[in-house]
Amino acid sequence: MKTITLLFILSLFINSAFGDEVSVMDGDSVTLHTNTVIEAFNGVSIIWKFGAQKTKIAQINKANNNNTVSIRDDALDGKFRGRLQLNDQTGDLTITNIRTTDSELYIVDIHVGIKETKKSFDVKGVINPESDQLKSVSVKDGDSVTLHTDVPDIKKYDAMQWRFQGVPIAEFNKSVSKISEDERFRDKLQLDVQTGSLKIKNIRTDLSGLYEVEISSTSSVYTIHQSFTVTVSDCVCCCYVLEAMVRLVISAVVGVATVAVLVNEIRSSRDKQKKNSQTPLDHH
């Protein structure tokens, strides 16, 4: 019995010390999964902690079918202020707009009755200077555009889903890929199952909007979220703008030239007057 207890404690220590490794790009969002369904139990407590000091950052308690969610925005001098979300059905923790300084060990204590389970996640943020929580992409009507996931190692994941305005348009699950049958995207989508990137060919203005991708790890330990706002500009409109700019420039050049000629004429006239006034008169 002592041997079993010792092995259990050692297992918890190893899991807490190292944890499931989570690789995520700076600026993305990530969800750490508890794999727990709170509704199935009563008397549940889930506590999320951060770093070696195990600072409490989020907590959910369920008693008498009432869920109480607490996000500690003031913890660690407001380090996570406005960036933590706690799922009141599962206890999953989502960190939005993750930063390289958020790279640390995250520990979750799950108490169900007298049973306690610990899980830990070794989150590693990767520097990406061009990354932002919401990436902006501009493209001309009729061109092609590729939305890059920039995930460090896509081979660690086996499920992903791309959505446009909240509607699924492309999915990949293990060896099976599925492309939307939406007429707007017919023969336009190409999903790279090696990188997770989505290519949209011959894009049109009606395909402007919000594109989102979710990438899940093989063990459902965590999920990466990325968002792109795509703006498709009308080429005809671009031509009109360019033409207007050219006309404006030409008008400006002509105006400057006209002013220069007038100034030159005035100077020339003044010089002649000055010269005439200095010419001596002949006395007979």
pLDDT band at 277 (very low <50, low <70, confident <90, very high): low
Tokens of 243: 């033409």
Q: Which CATH class is domain 2-126?
A: mainly beta
What's the mean pLDDT when you consider all of the chain? 79
Tokens 């993750």 belong to which residue? 98
Q: Do domains 2-126 and 134-235 have the same CATH topology?
A: yes
Domain boundaries along the sequence of the chain: 2-126, 134-235
What integer is the mean pLDDT of 82-98? 92
Please classify residue 4 by burial: count the beta carbons closer than 10 Å to its beta carbon, then call 0-12 exposed, 13-18 middle and 19+ buried.
exposed
**Residue closest to 48 by CA, chosen among 102, 124, 119:** 119
Average pLDDT of the residues in 198-224:
88
Phi, then psi, of 45 in degrees rounded to 5: -135, 125
From 14-23, 86-95, 180-189, the region with the lowest mean pLDDT: 14-23
Q: Are 107 and 32 in contact (CB under 8 A)?
A: no
Mean pLDDT of 111-126: 85
Q: Rounded distance, CA 177 to CA 162, Å? A: 11
Task: Give Cβ neighbours of residue 210 (< 8 Å, ≥ 6 apart).
Answer: 164, 165, 166, 227, 228, 229, 230
What pLDDT does 259 receive? Answer: 67
Q: What is the pLDDT of residue 46?
A: 94
Token reading at 283? 């006395």
Rounded Cα distance, 7 and 49, in Å: 24
Residues 3 and 233: their CA atoms lie apart, in Å, by: 68
Find out if CATH 2.60.40.10 is the number for domain 134-235: yes
Q: How many other β-carbons are positioned within 10 Å of the β-carbon of residue 165? A: 11
Entry pTM:
0.62
- Burial level of 267, CB count in 10 A (0-12/13-18/19+)? exposed
Longest dimension (CA), the chain: 142
Nearest to 14 by CA among 6, 24, 22: 6
More confident residue, 153 or 108: 108
Q: Kindly report, residue by residue over 220-266, the tens digit of the pLDDT.
A: 678 888 899 999 998 644 455 556 676 777 777 777 767 666 767 77
